């Protein structure tokens, strides 16, 4: 299986690569359009800021490449947010694969911190991405913006309010949390993606 991780100006790419290596899976980190298009599966990671990342993708034509992929694509954290329609983070138009909007957490209680950093539960899990994953499992999150709940929601988490921790449309999957850092639960989800 040819597995590609999209290289762009966002963090955690190495972490995803190492997580795959722990599972004895080899992946290629690249921004080469042909390699991405010809891969069996594509991982679109990301920790960073939405407008800078979108700008980078557009400059290289990667935005069009990603939306037209037919093989399974797995967006992680910022990767998932960029697959949505729009992000409030610096008023950014995103890839529009998922109709959902990405918004800033606005807690009314001052003791609730933004960004959310840490382990939270994932619930209402749907699709084979979560095969064998128990409801209310814990996953590791680091994010200040969230995707609202919508038609494409395949998992929910509650922080400030319920939101989408996972989205799915056709061949596109995205998770807000970091499976590469979510211990055994995360490894199961990565394995599930690889088995799709």
Partner 1 sequence: MLTKRIIPCLDIKDGRTVKGINFEQIRDAGDPIELGAFYAEQGADELVFLDITATIEKRKTLSELVNKIAHRINIPFTVGGGIKTEDDVSALLQNGADKISVNTAAFLDPTIINRFAKNFGSQCVVLAIDAKCETDNNWYVYLNGGRTKTEKLVTEWAKEAVDLGVGEILLTSMNHDGTKQGFALDITAQLAETLPVPIIASGGGGNEQHFYDVFTKGKADAALAASIFHYKEVAIPDLKQYLHQKGLAIRL
Residues near partner 1, by CB under 8 A:
11-12, 14-15, 18-19, 21-22, 47-49, 110-111, 113-121, 138, 140-144, 158-159, 178, 180-184, 186-187
Taking the complex as a whole, the smallest distance from the CB of residue 47 to partner 1 amounts, in Å, to: 6
User: Which candidate in 77, 84, 94, 165 is catalytic?
Assistant: 77
Active site residue 94: no
DSSP notation for 27-43: -EEE--HHHHHH-SEEE
User: Which candidate in 89, 100, 165, 178 is catalytic?
Assistant: 178
Q: 37 or 162: whose CB is closer to partner 1?
A: 162
Q: 43 or 69: whose CB is closer to partner 1?
A: 43
DSSP notation for 165-188: EEEEETTEEEESS-GGGSHHHHHH
User: Which candidate in 135, 165, 180, 187 is catalytic?
Assistant: 180
- What is the bridge-based pairing of β-strands 145-147 and 101-104? antiparallel
Taking the complex as a whole, the smallest distance from the CB of residue 7 to partner 1 amounts, in Å, to: 12
Q: 65 or 142: whose CB is closer to partner 1?
A: 142
Indicate the Cα dihedral angle 23, 144, 128, 37, nearest 10°: -70
Taking the complex as a whole, the smallest distance from the CB of residue 76 to partner 1 amounts, in Å, to: 13
Taking the complex as a whole, the smallest distance from the CB of residue 189 to partner 1 amounts, in Å, to: 12
Beta strands in 12-152 (DSSP E): 28-30, 41-44, 73-76, 86-87, 92-93, 101-104, 116-122, 137-143, 145-147
Structure tokens, 79: 């990767």
Q: 114 or 149: whose CB is closer to partner 1?
A: 114
Active site residue 77: yes
Q: How many CA atoms lie within 13 A of 138 on its CB side?
A: 7
Residues with a known catalytic role: 77, 178, 180
């Amino acid at each position: 299986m040819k597995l590609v991780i999209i290289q762009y100006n966002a963090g955690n790419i190495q972490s995803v690569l190492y997580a795959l290596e722990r599972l004895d899976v080899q992946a290629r980190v690249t921004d080469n359009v042909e390699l991405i298009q010809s891969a069996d599966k594509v991982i679109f990671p990301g920790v960073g800021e939405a407008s800078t990342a979108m700008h980078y993708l557009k400059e290289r034509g990667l935005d069009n490449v990603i939306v037209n992929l037919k093989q399974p694509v797995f967006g992680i954290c910022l990767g998932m947010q960029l697959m949505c329609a729009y992000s409030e983070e610096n008023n950014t138009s995103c890839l529009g694969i998922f109709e959902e909007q990405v918004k800033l957490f606005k807690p009314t209680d001052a003791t609730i911190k933004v960004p959310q950093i840490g382990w939270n539960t994932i619930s209402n899990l749907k699709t084979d991405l979560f095969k064998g994953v128990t409801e209310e499992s814990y996953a590791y999150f680091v994010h200040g913006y969230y995707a609202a709940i919508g038609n494409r929601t395949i998992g929910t988490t509650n922080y400030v309010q319920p939101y989408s921790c996972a989205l799915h449309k056709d061949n596109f999957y995205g998770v807000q949390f970091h499976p590469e850092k979510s211990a055994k639960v995360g490894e199961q989800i990565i394995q599930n993606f690889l088995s799709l």
